[in-house]
Structure 1
Amino acid sequence: MAYRESFYRYLMTLRDADSNDEVAQFANNAQNDQTFPKQEQDYDKLSDYLELNAGYLSSMSIFDQAYQMYRDKMMY
């Protein structure tokens, strides 16, 4: 089975403090979230965490977009 990096690790590659892009802002804020599930890959577990704990995420559609980008990158 091939190694697949965690969603958090992928998300950190999208950080950009100077960007107004919503995914970049999500990444910037997630970096400061001390309880973010950093090893998680599962959509449902990440979604549940964010719905309950991520006041910095204005819309779950931003997570959906970022997760789709993650899935696209992890396909091989």
Structure 2
Amino acid sequence: MYRKSFYQYLMTERNANSSTALAQFANSAFFDQSFPKQSDNYDEISNYLELNAGYLPSMTIFDQAWQQYLEKME
């Protein structure tokens, strides 16, 4: 079964008119040229964000997005 990358899922949450944390994360990740776009590995993405994503105010936002991603991929 084909599984979307986390980035592909995240892009479905983009909304320039939304002020939700998830939409803001998605909007920012869209402009992040180095984001691991092909990855579906939690540790790889989490480590990348912790080291490189100054646009993410809290890793809790990523954790919540990851849970939603897993639910959608089931």
Q: TM-score range by the shorter chain?
A: over 0.9
Alpha-carbon separation, structure 2, partners of 1:69 and 1:25: 15
Count of aligned residue pairs for this structure pair: 74
> Where in structure 2 are the equivalents of 1:1-76 lying within 5 Å?
2-75=1-74
Q: 1:28 offset after TM fit, Å?
A: 0.1
Q: Give the TM-score taking structure 1 as reference length.
A: 0.96
Alignment partners' CA distance in 2, 1:12 and 1:20: 15
Give unpaired runs (5+ residues) of structure 2. none
The one-letter amino acid of 1:59's match is: S
SS at match of 2:66: helix
State the alpha-carbon separation in 2 of the partners of residues 23 and 67 from structure 1.
10
Cα root mean square deviation, aligned: 0.3
Aligned residues: percent identity?
A: 64
TM-score, normalised to structure 2, is 0.99
